[in-house]
Amino acid sequence: VALILGTPQYSLRTVMFGSKAAADLVATFLDSFQTPMAFAWEMSFAWTFATSYVSHVLARALGVINIPWGAFAPFYRHLKRLHGGAYNRMLVTGQRHTAMDVLERLDRREVPTLIVTGGKDFSAGKSVYREMHFAAPRASFVHLPEACHAGMIGEREAVTEALEAFLHEKRESVAFNRRRLYDATGMNVSPPESPVKTAGGRDVVADPLSPAISPIKE
């Protein structure tokens, strides 16, 4: 199960008004001056933490986030401890890929995938959604129109509901396919990582997500 809440490259591209060329130049600059930029980022984090309430009001006014300060306070506390050098390297390396290659690989291997997008996420617009659909056409998509970049906090209930529905659907599909395989071949297949016990010459899967085989009700 892969939950895609964002894609790396678009952080710098968004700041540079959608221009990949400009974002690449910024990444090159950040890479060339790692030590001073690490110091600059840490000063910025300290300032953001010290003035988090004002910063939060500004971010809400700009449409970056749309959740109350109290719900976002843990992020500000974490920001104070974030290493500037690590953050700088994340921006630089993140500019080199978009995670679409990961989505393509998951889709080719038919790995159950859930993609959740937010209508008010400043770092991933409609063009990103189209790229995701193209990269993983088999994936399940859930779009939350009011979700911002911190949608997992602001739209917690909706994200949880999407996850539960996705897992329930995939669990039912797996159980149904195993039952069909057993009816056709007499084989009971269990996941490689799951412990398997033998009872009466028949394999029983000891896996909470894979209930024991039972007759299908018409």
pLDDT of residue 185: 78
d(CA 211, CA 178): 10
- Overall pTM surpassing 0.85 (yes/no): no
Contacts of residues 152-158 at CB distance under 8 Å and 24 or more positions apart, as own/partner, are 152/5, 153/67, 153/71, 153/72, 154/65, 154/66, 154/67, 154/71, 155/118
* Regions of the chain where pLDDT drops below 70: 1-10, 188-218
pLDDT of residue 103: 85
pLDDT of residue 94: 80
pLDDT of residue 36: 93
Q: Which amino acid is at 203?
A: D
Residues facing residue 113 across a β-bridge: 2
pLDDT of residue 213: 39
d(CA 30, CA 18): 18
Six-digit token string for 89: 């390297």
pLDDT of residue 72: 87
